[in-house]
Amino acid sequence: MKGANVLAGLIALLCAPLVLAQGSDDVVAKLGPAEIRVSDLQKLIDAQPPEIRDQLLKSPAALDRLVRTEVYRRALIEEARAKGWDKRPDVAVQMERAREQVLVTSYMNELAKPPAEFPSDQELAAAYAANQAEFALPRQFRVAQIFVAVPKDAAKADTERLRKKADDIAKRAQSKDADFARLAQANSDHKASAEQGGDLGWIAERDMIPEMRTLIPTLAKGEVGKPVRTEQGWHIIKLLDLKSASVRPLAEVRVQLAAAMRQRLAQENEKRYLDRMAEQTPVAVNEIALGKLRNPAGKP
């Protein structure tokens, strides 16, 4: 609980960065000579996309992971520098290449960035209408089960005994006044669901194994089906509830769709910019020099 309270306090501090201006810049984490202060962590969080930033500030666990990852990274950097690793010629070349790549990526991201007002409400609505399949939700079924396990190496007599056991439980579960949850708690070999009265939660039709996909859609709400055999054993299934296939509303996917549209437009803008650059100043390639590079010895 102490760690959770510390992180909760840290979240509050990060949500009010003006405190830093008053001189409060405590060390958040330390590993050897490497350390992270509140101001360092604030910069890390500010650099994240808005959705990631919100998640970090709302989740002590996510913030803790970020802190630990960053302090390990800094400790490794300190260790590598202490050993002169950054002075190795091959590493120096890679570091310079990475530095240049950051420069190019940042510059191109700015050049290709869509206008702030894109996409408009009309553009969002049109994209949503044109891509209904992407937002489709399949039929979903909330089911409960009583599972009778059958070992793979079970003898024929044991296999038959377990089949009869599953049939008996199913008949009891199908009776008018049956308490399926209590039967599951007392008889199911799947302990995780047994503790929940057999409840497996919601399952999309497309995610069901073939045996279940054959049975479950045929059940009426509240109905218990005949035992179904799988490689693991027998399943007595009760349909608790169902949801028809539907399409997620625009309001629910608005942020996701807008982000995808902005990314696609940025990619198109980048391609147009590079194409225009190539048209204005065509690339000149020295094929003779390239040939020498491919065949430095001059062999035929």
Each residue of 257-299: pLDDT tens digit?
Answer: 999 999 999 999 999 999 999 999 988 888 888 888 877 665 6
Q: Are residues 21 and 72 in the same domain?
A: yes
Give the pLDDT of residue 126: 97
Positions of the chain with pLDDT under 50: 1-4, 6, 8, 11-22
Q: Are residues 185 and 213 in the same domain?
A: yes
Task: Supply the pTM of this predicted model.
Answer: 0.61
Q: Residues 45-70: pLDDT tens digits?
A: 988 888 788 888 888 888 899 999 99
For residues 1 and 275, give the distance between their C-alpha atoms in angstroms, rounded to a whole number.
Answer: 57
DSSP 131: T
Q: Are residues 31 and 180 in the same domain?
A: no
Q: Are residues 97 and 60 in the same domain?
A: no
Determine contact, residues 133/173, Cβ cutoff 8 Å.
no
Q: Are residues 174 and 232 in the same domain?
A: yes
Q: Are residues 125 and 253 in the same domain?
A: yes
Q: Are residues 45 and 118 in the same domain?
A: no
Q: Are residues 196 and 233 in the same domain?
A: yes
Determine contact, residues 144/203, Cβ cutoff 8 Å.
no
For residues 124 and 118, give the distance between their C-alpha atoms in angstroms, rounded to a whole number.
Answer: 9
Q: Are residues 238 and 285 in the same domain?
A: no
Q: Are residues 125 and 255 in the same domain?
A: yes
Give the pLDDT of residue 297: 64
Q: Closest by alpha carbon to 261, among 109, 131, 111, 105?
A: 131
Give the pLDDT of residue 12: 47
Q: Which of 205, 221, 244 is the last residue of a domain?
A: 244
How many other CB atoms are found less than 10 A from the CB of residue 129?
A: 9
Position of tokens 């007392």? 186
Give the pLDDT of residue 298: 58
Q: Which of 24, 58, 86 is the last residue of a domain?
A: 86
Q: Are residues 273 and 143 in the same domain?
A: no
The structural domain count of the chain equals: 3
- Provide the domain limits for residue 111: 88-130+249-300
Q: Closest by alpha carbon to 228, among 146, 142, 143, 140?
A: 146
Give the pLDDT of residue 52: 86
Give the pLDDT of residue 55: 85
Q: Are residues 19 and 41 in the same domain?
A: yes
Give the pLDDT of residue 300: 58
Instruction: Determine whether 31 is exposed, middle or buried from the number of CB atoms within 10 Å of its CB (0-12, 13-18, 19+).
Output: middle
Give the pLDDT of residue 270: 96
Q: How far is CA 273 from the centre of its chain?
A: 32
